[in-house]
Structure 1
Amino acid sequence: MRSVVVSVWPHPVCEKPTMKLFETFRTDDRAVSPVLGVALLIAMTVILAGVVGYVALGVDADSANAPQVSLKFKQDADAGTVTMYHKGGDALAAGEVIVKTDNASADPDDPGALATGDSYKVVTVGATTGDVVSIVWQDPSSDREVLLAEYTVE
């Protein structure tokens, strides 16, 4: 008859019965590295997406939102004026409204604020047919400008 020898501690790492239980299953100290690497890649992707979204959408807490207005125009060719009428929407502060023209000098008569129902007369000296009068809102907290309305001189 042959005798069979059975090893009581078959795991090669666990040579002594005095080793702790958690050390018997630990064969590779680098097992956490792939998990940590994946977690870091996901975190970097989320942060990068947030930064790109912030820049692409132009989100800025300090910047004011452009006013939403409905403006209509009426031209008096004999007087050389274009009158802008505020038909509805947000009020406009005069310090935030800029009048731009193609080839004429534009002088607003009334520097006051504009609310619904108010009018704003723009003297367009030297304006010719086809010139564009632009009403632009300038953000008081930055150099950002938003075109509110345009009128083409007839």
Structure 2
Amino acid sequence: MTVRALQEHRDELEADLQEFFHLDLEEFKKHGRLSLHKIYVCVKSLMRKPGRSTLLMALDEATEWDAKEYILARLSDGMELANYLFIQANSGESSEEMPLPTPIRRPGEPDPETQKPKPEEFASGKEVAEFFGRMSSL
């Protein structure tokens, strides 16, 4: 991982080493004062800093957020859906149809516009009647 980070994501690694550990990657290159093992230990530590490490974000876009942001997004989506369902349940039949709330986009997930929605299949009236007929005969 350390060699890959040095080769492919040098700028991000250099920024994180400077920000979190106050280490200069040029010391490794020019003077050899920074060992490869020390860089490895720092990179290993950076892998546990989701939402803060630019190297980790470059390797995996989903790590742009830490657990707190994901929890807040889930709470927000849940609240919006609960409000939507409450309004739908308590509005009259003649009221205007509301669109479903759009969930907050998470890092690393594809845009909902690019995904094709799956066609919904509902049971026919006959199938529903047969189901309830079987249920009432139990």
More helix by share: 2
TM-score exceeds 0.5: no
Whose radius of gyration is greater, 1 or 2? 1
Shorter chain as denominator, the TM-score bin is: under 0.3
Going by fraction, where is strand more abundant, 1 or 2? 1
